[in-house]
Amino acid sequence: MGQFSTTERDGHLFVITINRPEVMNALHPPANAELSDVFDEFENDPDLWVAIVTGAGERAFSAGNDLKYQASGGDRSAQPSSGFAGLTARYDLVKPVIAAVNGVAMGGGFEIALACDLIIASENATFALPEVRVGLAALAGGVHRLPRTIGPKRALGMILTGRHVPAQEGYELGFVNEVVPTGEALAGARRWAEQILAVSPMSVRASKQAVYKGLEEGGVAGAEAVRYPAVIAMTKSEDFIEGPKAFAEKRPPQWKGR
């Protein structure tokens, strides 16, 4: 257990909980540094295939940047290069991460969720990028990820006003994958994780990398022309042989993740 977070291993699943409920799981540089180490552990451990990130308690996933800590002149030297929560600037992570959003996901908290590959939200979840209300901007990926997810006009409707968006509207806008009853965000995220863990981890990583890096290209032809390291790793893996073999033999595949 860390000072600002907790982790749980469940087979190939890694559950990360932001644990600062007294400040609605807001994060300051020491907490971001700790979470960066946690995501390093996830990224580098071959036995961990999928991660879920959530917040302690039911009030908040994360209220974002700890503005009181910043306003009091708290030491910011610990801020990691991997970004907010050690995740928002971790662009080369090929393993999937799911956000289980319980309650408030504001500012940097929403940016953490947007940096994840799936967002499962409880009915009481609320999302916003309210930085403009305090003279800031959502520069931990929010101003770039949100328009790429839901389109620039709908994204600017949130970004330029800082308005609060409930979970159901988030689903309708397209940045939430599923809305579940209050208190069941983590359980819902686990269900999605189980589905991902049932398929080839090498294929999952290849697909994730191709999606994100392909989006950086100008069109489909350019995206198809890129050589993706995770795709190359997939084609050279044991799983690449095991999948078709298991299908032909009419049995469940035994994935190795290598």
E runs forming strands in the chain: 5-10, 13-18, 50-55, 60-62, 97-101, 104-106, 118-122, 126-128, 165-166, 178-180
- Active-site residue (options: 41, 58, 131, 217): 131
Cite the beta strand spans of 181-241 per DSSP E: none
Q: Which two tokens stand for residue 146?
A: 């949100």
- The β-bridge partners of 128 are 106
Is 216 assigned a catalytic role? no
111 is catalytic: yes
- Rounded to the nearest angstrom, the gap between the alpha carbon of residue 236 and the centroid of all alpha carbons in its chain is 27
DSSP 8-state secondary structure symbol assigned to residue 96:
-
Q: Which of 41, 111, 178, 238 is catalytic?
A: 111
Contact status, residue 237 vs residue 244, Cβ threshold 8 Å: no
20 Cβ partners below 8 Å, 6+ apart? 4, 26, 27, 31, 56
* 125, 103 contact by CB (below 8 A): yes
Sign of CA dihedral 117, 62, 164, 178: positive
Distant-in-sequence, close-in-space partners of 94: CB < 8 Å, separation ≥ 6: 205, 206, 208, 209, 230
Q: How far apart are CA 186 and CA 207, in angstroms?
A: 24
- Catalogue the active-site residues: 111, 131
